[in-house]
Amino acid sequence: MGPVTGGLLSGIAWVNGREIVYSAGAINRSLYRLSIAGNRVPERLNLGWDSQLVPAVSIARHRLIYASRVYRGDLVRLDTQAGTLEPLVSARGLQLHPRYSPDGRKIAFFSTRSGNPEIWTCNADGSGCEQLTSFGGPFVTSPRWSPDGRRIAFDARPEDKSQIYFIAADGGEPQRLTSGNAWNSRPDWSQDGQWIYFTSDRSGRDEIWKMPAAGGEPVQVTRTGGASPMVSSEGDALYYQKQEEGYQAQLRVSLYRMPEKGGPAEEILPLRGDRYWDVNRMGLYFLTAGNELRVRDLRSGKTRTLAQVPQAGLFSVSPDGAWVAMEQSQPTLYDLMLVEDFK
């Protein structure tokens, strides 16, 4: 006797006298088919990215029915002068991680509307949505435009470990930059487009690294921890966040700045949490714990509140500071799904 499944279970059903189908997973649950004899290797059923729960099987009619849990998030945009919100991108599933292009005319984002996580682009007003990547299953997130707007870097997890890629902004075959067993994620470009900064745990903990955009060996940038790098629009400073160490500080995240060419780092401000900030020539933008979007002038240090934004998530500020594209969570949906001819 012994366990034949791993992870959290959310339902189990007999397919016949020899096989079962079950729901398992840490966050997004998938359905798996498993023979109770033989090598007991589970087969994941390709039913899309939505969570699949509580399966039931009609053996006589060869039907599978299950509950589909659809996490939802839309993109909205804030008019920074008027302080008003308006819809930007809405579709079934998640629309996350918006990022303005350098000229402010396009937005790249992560979407599950196709049934799987992929990188999409749209016009700045939310029109003209186009799918850019076609990985067909693994998590694909964190798009960042090159300074000339011709390429988009992102991270993807086709082999369980996150790796850095880039793709032409008008489509094509993604190019993989990193490899190995390290977790590499959250890329950004140097202002000359020659380097890509990213987060990696290859040294044993999260640090900022960089590597040539044309490929080559990564170079370690930080030594005391760091994640989510972002190069200033002037190209002279590197911003990044760091989770403070120690039991009392385990949930405290702070924003740091260091010279892009290297040098000592300085702490700028404590953050609400992971990646709730953006920086451009207009200033440093951040969300507070009370969902206030604020901007700090990088020269004077003065801070002002732009708007109260309920249910706000990660965001991107347009190059001219006129708009802020941001995630906004929506109620979760549940559907009943039927699979015919299930044998």
CA distance 121 to 77: 15
Task: Count CA atoms closer than 13 A to 212's CA, side-chain side.
Answer: 4
Q: Estimate to the nearest angstrom the gap between the alpha carbon of 292 and the chain centroid.
A: 22
Q: Estimate to the nearest angstrom the gap between the alpha carbon of 48 and the chain centroid.
A: 18
For residue 131 the two structure tokens come to 């799918």
Q: What is the DSSP string of 112-155?
A: -TTSS-EEEEEETTS-S-EE-----SS-EEEEEE-TTSSEEEEE
pLDDT score, position 249: 46
- Each residue's pLDDT, cut to its tens digit, for the chain (343 residues) gives 456 566 678 899 999 888 999 999 866 789 999 998 777 788 889 888 888 999 999 988 899 999 999 889 999 999 999 999 999 999 989 999 999 999 999 999 999 999 889 999 999 999 999 999 999 888 899 999 999 999 999 999 988 899 999 999 999 999 999 999 999 999 999 999 999 999 999 999 999 999 999 999 999 999 999 999 999 998 899 999 998 765 454 568 999 999 999 999 999 999 988 899 999 999 999 999 899 999 999 889 999 999 999 889 999 999 999 999 999 988 888 999 999 999 8
DSSP category for residue 94: B
Task: Yes or no: say if 218 and 210 are a contact pair by the CB < 8 Å rule.
Answer: yes
Helix (H) or strand (E) holding 195: strand 195-200
**Alpha-carbon dihedral angle through residues 291, 276, 149, 96, given to the nearest 10 degrees:** -70
pTM, two decimal places:
0.88
pLDDT score, position 9: 85
CA distance 175 to 167: 6
DSSP category for residue 49: S
pLDDT score, position 67: 96
Which residues, other chains included, contact 261 with Cβ-Cβ below 8 Å and sequence gap of 6+? none
CA distance 251 to 106: 34
For residue 284 the two structure tokens come to 């440093």
pLDDT score, position 250: 53
pLDDT score, position 128: 98
